[in-house]
Structure 1
Amino acid sequence: MAEKEFKLPDVGEGVAEGELVNWLVAPGDTVTEDQPVAEVETDKALVEVPSPYNGTVKQLHAEEGQMVPVGDVIVTYDVPEEGDDASGEPAGEEPAATDPEASADTDADAASDGPTADEPATTDSDAGATDEAPEPSSGRVFAPPSARRLARELGVDIAAVEGSGPGGRVTEGDVRAHVETGESEDAGAAGGDSSGPKQVDIGGKKSAVSRKGGDDADGATAEVAAGSAPSSVEAAGRDRTLAVPATRKAAEDAGVDLDDVPTDETRDGEAFVTTEQVEGYAQAVKEAKAAEAEEAAAGGDGADAPARSAAAGNGASASREPESVPYRGVRRTIGQQMENSKYTAPHVTHHDTAVVDELVDVRADLKERAAERDVKLSYMPFVMKALVAGLKEFPYLNSELREDDEEILLKKEYNLGIAVATDAGLMVPVVKDVDEKSIVELAAEVNDLASRARERKVSREEMQGGTFTITNFGAIGGEYATPIINYPETAIMGLGAIDERPVAEDGEVRAAHTLPLSLSIDHRVIDGAEAGQFTNFVMERLENPSLLLLE
């Protein structure tokens, strides 16, 4: 066997470092070339880093959440040398199989001697439930990080899951369907064996935590899953435990002895503990201590424990404890970008309201025609067209200030970023060349980019090159805001909710559809008067959408 070091590659042009968000392998895992070994986040894109070798993971050199410079060693491998078989043993005088297909099968068997990151370790109870464990596929599995993470949490071999996505891509739904099918099959083979620590579902993740000396192990499982504190928690008390660096850090932060965390997973014959199991065990210990303290304060007879437990669940002191949430990944990237923008560009926000009754009517007329082309037509494409018309008339709002060169770059491309709220934070995919596309084409592209952004499938390149940004906070309610410029751009337009509001016209008040607008500008480049003129120009086209035909 030869030892090989793998350095973090350049995962994006001009990127100097990335955050190691998630390890997809652990020490002792057998990996194949091009198999993803880690998820790394740079800027606002999450990418999978593939292995350059076939071999065994010997050591991980970074922890989850750590910023790693490009070129730093992140993994050390044991790689078979020429003349070794897949297991690293010298090859015999005679080949094990002369048939190419048989040889390939033999290699796959040898590579599967140890559990991989996506393959759950085999335990004694598992062996009793099935005669033969499924062998993982030696080919590369196409699956997004979210599906791989779910597979690991549920103990599923991702290679055994049949993908329903494009090109056989495995989705989260495929993983769940595989688990449901497997559970129904295992239920008949398991025979109701309740020996060993129970797997307790805590917050959607599993942890091997059970009540001590309980005759009713299932009752303890239900109690912990429901959030009630068990009277005590059984510690494993091992002499040796394997875990990745991030898990060891989680145990240290939680004040938990890693050897005490129950687990039924193994790596190379040693107990292997995951971060989820550490968190579940720490939570169960915390609840057990709280319950014991509560019982002692009440006299220790335990007769009214259910009532006290209910009282604790209804807003007692435990719920008042602060919770620490990691500030990293997309959230930290957003924070750094917002800080850079706010403390670099002096912001001024101009507010106004457009009366858009005609726009509402035009959109209603065209909505069915767009649906015939399988396109959902919103108001956004009309706003984009009106903004591009305004940017052509007022080019300083489509610019970039280059202080080092002492110049303002007036851009001739009209690439509009569309801010999209996702579970991971705010993402801004960019629609390129808006001035060259029709309303229907823009609607289709916006819908596609927004959908893929929410699924974390939008590429880094698709979030670059913007010249002006739109943020639609009206989609979740609200009228006005002070949006922060997507630096180094010089302006951003915020859209409120289109709704009926009172409007005074010719001395009378009527209900009209209005669109609140909030334009933030970089006051170093754009004056307040120019911001007002630009907004009026855009409003004129939103209030009279037929003018967009002239653009």
Structure 2
Amino acid sequence: MATLEDVLLPDIGDFSDVEIIEILVAPGDRIAPEQSLLTLESDKASIEIPSPLGGEVKEVLVSVGERISQGKLLMRVATGSAGASAESGAASNSGGDQAESTPKPETAPAPSSPSVPSSAQPRTPEPAPSAQPSANQPPTRAPGEAERRKAPILPRPEDMAAIAHGRTPHASPAVRRFARELGVDLHRVKGSGRKQRILKDDVQQFVKQSLAAGTAAAAPGAPFQLPSAPAVDFSQFGPVTSEPLPRIKKISGAHLHRCWLTVPHVTQFDEADITELEAFRKGQKAAAEKAGVRLTFMPFLLKAVATALGQMPVVKASLAPDCEQLIHKHYCHIGVAVDTPKGLVVPVVRNVDQKGLFALAEELMTLSQKARDGKLLAADMQGGVFSISSLGGIGGTAFTPIVNAPEVAILGVSRTEMKPVWNGQDFKPRLMLPLSLSYDHRVVDGADGVRFTSLLRQLLSDIRRLLL
């Protein structure tokens, strides 16, 4: 008789709670020793677990996606098939109890069969003629052998693609990381390794083919495959001219397009009363001229934003590339959008929280002049944790600024307007500044967005709060 053996997860080193990504056998399959049973995947490697014995799989006790550790019962396997065959042969000679307990299917008796010794005569009055196979027709399968099943119809490639849809691609963690760095969706890559495992060469080949075909190897974080705009011959409607797009707009355009598609934007609108702040700024005009700087509203806004970011650091954080960790920054560099004849650039003012108003005014003047002269260096536009885009000098009442990823928020400032504001007793004319805060909703939720604009509004309404 076959013996039912338990197959346990062996010692796999320092790993524990390892996820099962593939089960390679099913109940009814016959397996050989060292044949792979299932595949585990840790954060460092993929591991195939071999069978310690041979036999027939009777029961699989784990499932894909389950996390297991050493000693976990994986499946039960029936072993000793050869012994079972010998026992079955002996039982056919001895008859006896086995003929009584296990009835055999009836077959035509052989025309001539050898006599059975008296010591092996069955106890029942009538012998079981089916215990002996026909001499002319051999049995269809050996005793103890599993019934032979008809081979299934081979699936088509499109059938396999439909079955595999939604499954985790079969690749090692190193290959997954390599694919993420290149922006490749592994679901679209065909593996050439054992059991269709995706190798590094497969990813490289897929990228080469995509580039040759002129298509993008879409990553999970950027799944949009938008159709290109149809070409339009505008000359059929009237005279036209064309000119090359400025280099700054080419670079910033691609970046803004990516940010708009990959960052879930939310924009929060508010107004700040800057009547007293504007009066104070004008009062310091002479002192600023004496220091050789032009004191605009922007240094005050920078200081207020830096104070608000210090109290709400999540607004100056960034999302890790794997979208599973939040990176907090313990510095305060703020980018300020500058309009130039060649396009929009965003130089970064560093350590805003550590500088005074006159120092910020001087640095803004220097960066703005370098931007207009086209002399900004790459380092001058890197390292920002937050951005400000001010259109107040041009006009407008509100707008939706695009988050400058990997930052998670940007503040838009529009033209100030004198408005009647109710103070509880009567209406008073107050200078109101429109605020438009766009943020990445994966990091900043709606409540934090409102808290930030409310805090900024309070700081701008009473600049004495900047000293607290």
TM-score (norm 1): 0.41
Larger radius of gyration: 2
